[in-house]
Amino acid sequence: MGNNKELGAEGEQIATDYLEKTGYQILERNYRYKRAEVDIIAKKEAMLLFVEVKYRANESFGFPEEFVRGRKIELIHMASEHYVEKINWKDNIRFDIISIMKKTIPEVIHLEDAF
């Protein structure tokens, strides 16, 4: 189990670095509300992003982004509603997935408005 946590933390750091390099300000990492968690909350101009990070060592079980579905999406929406209310956000929001495949140089795919 520790290995999955380490892999997840590594993926989130890669995603955070990617977002910062592309002009996003990171507001939160691993934001929790009740049973929900959002990996990264970031902001760029008038857009607030709720980002789910999926990081895989290989494609054996499919592409990383294929694992964001159903209950996970519901929980992210619940946490995002709480966060928006908490900070009194009045501008746009978006739900993105950052899919990372572990390779010599990690392959990062940013899926904007993914769900």
Count structural domains, the chain.
Answer: 1
* pLDDT one-digit tens code per residue, 52-90: 998 877 666 666 566 677 788 999 999 999 999 999 999
Provide the mean pLDDT of the chain.
89
Structural domain boundaries, residue 11: 2-111
CA distance 12 to 10: 5
Domain containing residue 101: CATH number: 3.40.1350.10
Count Cβ atoms below 10 Å from residue 28 Cβ, excluding itself: 16
Instruction: Return the exposure string of 50-70: e unless at least 16 CB atoms fall within 10 Å of the residue's CB, then b.
Output: bbbbbbbeeeeeeebbeebee
**Does the pLDDT at position 2 exceed 60?**
no
- Predicted local distance difference test score (pLDDT) of residue 1: 45
Cβ contacts of 97 within 8 Å, gap of 6 or more: 51, 52, 53, 54, 64, 65, 68, 110, 111, 114, 115
Percent of all residues in the chain with a pLDDT value above 70, rounded to a whole number? 89
Quote helix, strand, coil % in the chain, to nearest 5.
35, 35, 25
- Predicted local distance difference test score (pLDDT) of residue 66: 66
**Selected residue with higher pLDDT from 54 and 28:** 28
- Predicted local distance difference test score (pLDDT) of residue 15: 97
